[in-house]
């Protein structure tokens, strides 16, 4: 089970990520060392996190297409990839960024291999896929119209409530991507369990948010705000992209 309080306190040791050069980002982490804190830095280029791209990278498209081919569902390819690539520009690649930089920081002293950096990118993309599905669900439940300056997916004329199914598909794609790249790894089950647990707790947080929004304003206390923030946002946005590459790093 997740140690929620401890995990979130550990995450607070990470400082804000910010660009330090035109072509790289720096991730600052205060590491406990001999009772004190040591400043650690890692960098990543916009190319490594596909910043500004509007299409999925081939290493994510391929396992998705493989599943469609396996089950003779090629007729659905256009719809599946349209839902992914419509939602993609609305994501900030934050999870991909955190996952890659966390892995770089953890493995800096042991040497970084290209294959493992790619695996860290894949884990980050799995979190991005989760965020895509959550945004679709959230917009439908909140009767949203716009998200990041464009129409919500379900507000497109030919989508409507069928967007619920698109969100389910995107969420479940995650596990085929994980199996494709990590199915033979000893930590594969831990990756899947962590993803499922965070998804479930995020759904709990969403339910809390919905119940408060439909009830009396008196229900929205400071404690409730913290509970919703921790469960609906913090775990999937900050904890998950940190925890997944920790399994990769051993």
Residue 179 lies inside a defined structural domain of this protein: yes
Q: Say if residue 31's pLDDT is above 70.
A: no
Cα separations in angstroms, 70 against 39, 102, 122, 239, 248: 48, 34, 21, 34, 28
Residue 39 lies inside a defined structural domain of this protein: no
Residue 32 lies inside a defined structural domain of this protein: no
* pLDDT at residue number 185: 96
Inter-axis angle of helices 163-182 and 58-70, to 10 degrees?
100
More confident residue, 29 or 43: 43
Three state DSSP letters for 16-75: CCEEEECCEEEEEEEEEECCEEEEEEEEECCCCCCCCCCCCCHHHHHHHHHHHHHCCCHH
Residue 4 lies inside a defined structural domain of this protein: no
* pLDDT at residue number 62: 96
What backbone phi and psi angles, to 5 degrees, belong to 28? -105, 130
Domain with residue 138: its CATH number is 1.10.600.10
Domains of the chain: total: 1
> Which pTM was predicted?
0.81
Residue 116 lies inside a defined structural domain of this protein: yes
Q: Say if residue 21's pLDDT is above 60.
A: no
Over residues 163-189, the pLDDT tens digits come to 999 999 999 999 999 999 999 999 999
More confident residue, 220 or 10: 220
Residue that the structure tokens 């979130």 belong to: 8
Q: Say if residue 9's pLDDT is above 60.
A: no
What does the block give as tokens for 209?
């948010």
Residue 36 lies inside a defined structural domain of this protein: no
* pLDDT at residue number 52: 59
* pLDDT at residue number 12: 40
Residue 93 lies inside a defined structural domain of this protein: yes
Q: Say if residue 212's pLDDT is above 70.
A: yes
Strand-pairing partners, residue 31, are 38
Which range of residues forms the domain containing residue 228? Answer: 54-249
* pLDDT at residue number 149: 85
124 dihedral zone (left: phi>0; alpha: psi -120 to 50; beta): alpha
More confident residue, 89 or 128: 128
């Amino acid at each position: 089970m997740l140690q929620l309080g401890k995990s979130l306190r550990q995450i607070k040791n990470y400082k804000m990520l910010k660009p330090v050069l035109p072509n790289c980002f720096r991730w600052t982490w205060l590491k406990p060392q001999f009772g004190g804190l040591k400043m650690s830095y890692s960098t990543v280029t916009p190319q490594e996190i596909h910043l500004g791209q509007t299409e999925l990278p081939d290493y994510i498209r391929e396992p998705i297409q493989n599943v469609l081919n396996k089950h003779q569902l090629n007729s659905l390819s256009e719809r599946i990839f349209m839902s992914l690539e419509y939602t993609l520009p609305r994501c900030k690649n934050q999870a991909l960024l955190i996952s890659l930089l966390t892995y770089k920081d953890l493995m800096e002293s042991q040497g970084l291999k290209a294959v493992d950096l790619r695996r860290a990118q894949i884990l980050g993309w799995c979190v991005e896929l989760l965020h895509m599905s959550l945004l679709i669900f959230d917009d439908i439940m909140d009767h949203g119209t716009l998200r990041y300056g464009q129409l919500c997916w379900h507000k497109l004329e030919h989508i409507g409530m069928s967007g619920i199914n698109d969100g389910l598909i995107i969420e479940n794609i995650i596990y085929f991507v994980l199996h494709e790249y990590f199915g033979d790894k000893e930590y594969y089950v831990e990756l899947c369990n962590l993803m499922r647990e965070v998804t479930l707790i995020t759904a709990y947080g969403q339910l809390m948010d919905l119940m408060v929004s439909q009830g009396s304003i008196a229900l929205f206390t400071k404690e409730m705000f913290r509970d919703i923030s921790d469960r609906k946002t913090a775990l999937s946005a900050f904890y998950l992209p940190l925890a997944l590459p920790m399994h990769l790093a051993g």
